[in-house]
Chain A
Amino acid sequence: DVKVTQSSRYLVKRTGEKVFLECVQDMDHENMFWYRQDPGLGLRLIYFSYDVKMKEKGDIPEGYSVSREKKERFSLILESASTNQTSMYLCASSKTGYNEQFFGPGTRLTVL
């Protein structure tokens, strides 16, 4: 079974802090994704990566950056956290092509 793990289930940070969210997948998938989920808005794509060191902006990249130094790991970085970045963050991975994405358990981030 595909396993996607995220470094924390719950995280509380202060405004202005630099925040790292880590995601690891164990199925050698080429593609990895970061979404945020907010009530009434569904899932919105922040960034995705289709190969090591490659990244593409999604629908809402402002205020975020990403890093993919190894195939299995995809990190989401909030350079200076703000209260409007309080949300559930979901990581996913998939094989190349029209394949289903497999999701991690999510990180609920609260920025005070």
Chain B
Amino acid sequence: AQKVTQAQTEISVVEKEDVTLDCVYETRDTTYYLFWYKQPPSGELVFLIRRNSFDEQNEISGRYSWNFQKSTSSFNFTITASQVVDSAVYFCALSEPIQTGANNLFFGTGTRLTVIP
């Protein structure tokens, strides 16, 4: 069975601090994908990144970076020099392969990040 754990329910940081959001997953599949989504106060989930199980290279996009480590089944997300606009709920998700071609996502329970000005 697939499972995604985001142990941090809520995090508060002061603006310009760096913050890391943890994500640990469980799967028996050798091929899988991991995702991060952002849900701002407006409510709409925004896709941030997709990473496949065969690519363990870290990724950086502006102030955002992701660290994927298969050895520890983790896919952590770091925001550098946080800003107030980063305040949101962040979800990590794992994709399960299905014969029909649809990819179901298993979501963690989310981490609410508050950036204090």
Residues of A in contact with B (beta carbons under 8 Å apart):
30-31, 33, 40-45, 48-51, 54, 56, 58, 88, 90, 92, 94, 96-106
Given the complex, which residues of B lie within 8 Å of A44, measured CB to CB?
Answer: 107
Residue contact A96 to B102, C-beta cutoff 8 Å:
yes
Residue contact A97 to B47, C-beta cutoff 8 Å:
no
Query: Which residue of the partner chain, among A40, A98, A102, contacts B103 with CB atoms under 8 Å?
Result: A98
Chain B: interface residue total (CB-CB under 8 A): 26
Q: Which of B14-22, B38-46, B68-76, B78-86 contacts A (4 or more CB under 8 A)?
A: B38-46
Given the complex, which residues of B lie within 8 Å of A54, measured CB to CB?
Answer: 100
Residue contact B109 to A42, C-beta cutoff 8 Å:
yes
Chain A: CB-nearest residue to B97: A98
Distance between Cα atoms of A101 and B50 in the complex (Å): 10
Query: Which residue of the partner chain, among A33, A40, A49, A50, contacts B109 with CB atoms under 8 Å?
Result: A40
Given A30-B102, A43-B105, A103-B37; 20 other pairs, CB 8 A cutoff: A31-B101, A31-B102, A44-B107, A48-B104, A51-B100, A54-B100, A56-B100, A58-B104, A90-B45, A92-B45, A94-B103, A96-B101, A97-B101, A97-B103, A98-B33, A99-B103, A100-B35, A100-B50, A103-B46, A106-B43
The 17 listed contacts between A and B (C-beta, < 8 Å) are A31-B102, A33-B104, A41-B109, A42-B109, A45-B105, A49-B102, A50-B102, A98-B95, A98-B103, A99-B50, A100-B50, A102-B47, A103-B37, A103-B45, A105-B42, A106-B43, A106-B44
Distance (Å) between the CB of A24 and the closest chain B CB? Answer: 15
Residues of B in contact with A (beta carbons under 8 Å apart):
9, 33, 35, 37, 42-47, 50, 52, 91, 95, 97-98, 100-105, 107-110
- The number of residue pairs between A and B whose CB atoms lie closer than 8 Å in the complex comes to 68
Distance between Cα atoms of A98 and B32 in the complex (Å): 8
Chain B: CB-nearest residue to A106: B43
Chain A: CB-nearest residue to B48: A100
Residue contact B110 to A42, C-beta cutoff 8 Å:
yes
Most chain B CB within 10 A, of A48, A50, A100, A102, is at: A100
Distance between Cα atoms of A97 and B37 in the complex (Å): 18
